[in-house]
Amino acid sequence: MDAILKTENLVMTYRVGKVDVNALRGVNLSVGRGEFVSIMGPSGCGKSTMLHILGGLLKPTSGKVIVDGEDMADMTDAQRTDTRRRKIGFVFQRFNLFPTLTAEGNLQLAEQIHGKGKKIVDEETRREVLRLLRLENKMRHKPLELSGGEQQRVAIARAIINRPAIILADEPTGNLDSENSEIVLEMLQKLNRELNQTIVMITHNPEAAAVAARTVHMRDGMIVGEE
């Protein structure tokens, strides 16, 4: 399979005072185009650290991170930001919508940043995304006027609206009740199938992990198994 994301011997060491924390100790991960991968593992095993590196929010201590043909480990901060703008969509546990903007405003902001001021998202993709996420009637609402599940769906719409190469989701259902979790997971699955969207999702919940075609297990900064 054609890998859209690949890490080679990824190492991340945080320095806290005089102590080194080895968050990642040589991670080799490969994700194919159009794959839906979930990542599981105990708290503190380095899942978020890895996701942040994959999305270019952090620079690894050593190793390679190849996203759609570009090695982000070699890049400057500004270059990583630019790659993130073009190729990555993030979804967080805490939704992270702009509270002062409507759902529509949140999407537009992402489109503006992605297009560097120009509008480059075509209307058809936009309509399709809103339809799949069932958000057509929610666009005028501000985050506080939406349920948690709806907020997360807006956040997913924001991540996918620019059709990034990869969506990176860090416990996207972690703040949702089981009903809303199910809806959000179902939608992620739909986006994966109908739009062939590559998704890497961290989760603590085995049921959530099950919607992904493949689950990667981590422990102590390493990948310890797959299913």
Q: Does 70 bind another protein (CB under 8 A)?
A: no
Q: What are the start-end ranges of the H helices in the chain?
A: 47-54, 77-87, 103-115, 123-132, 148-160, 178-194, 206-210
Question: Under rule CB under 5 A, how many of the chain's residues touch Mg ion?
Answer: 1
Structure tokens given for 133: 């996420």
For the beta sheet containing 19-32, the strands, ordered from the edge strand earlier in sequence to the opposite edge, are: 19-32, 3-16, 62-67, 70-71
Place of tokens 């930001």: 81
Q: Does 18 bind ligand ATP (CB under 6 A)?
A: no
- CB distance 39 to 215 below 8 Å: yes
In angstroms, the CA 93 to CA 115 distance is: 26
In angstroms, the CA 93 to CA 205 distance is: 13
Q: Does 44 bind ligand ATP (CB under 6 A)?
A: yes
Report the nearest approach of another protein to the CB of residue 227 (Å).
29
Q: Which of 1, 2, 19, 43 binds ligand ATP (CB under 6 A)?
A: 43
Report the nearest approach of ligand ATP to the CB of residue 209 (Å).
13
The amino acid that residue 81 corresponds to is: T
Applying CB under 6 A, the span of 37-45, 81-89, 130-138, 206-214 interacting with ligand ATP comes to: 37-45
- Per-residue interface string for the shown chain with another protein, residues 90-129, x marking contact by CB under 8 A: x-x---xxx-xx---x--xxx-xxx--x------------
Instruction: Write out the residues near another protein by the rule CB under 8 A.
Output: 52, 55, 57-58, 78, 81-82, 84-86, 88, 90, 92, 96-98, 100-101, 105, 108-110, 112-114, 117, 158
Instruction: Write out the residues near ligand ATP by the rule CB under 6 A.
Output: 14, 16, 21, 23, 41, 43-49
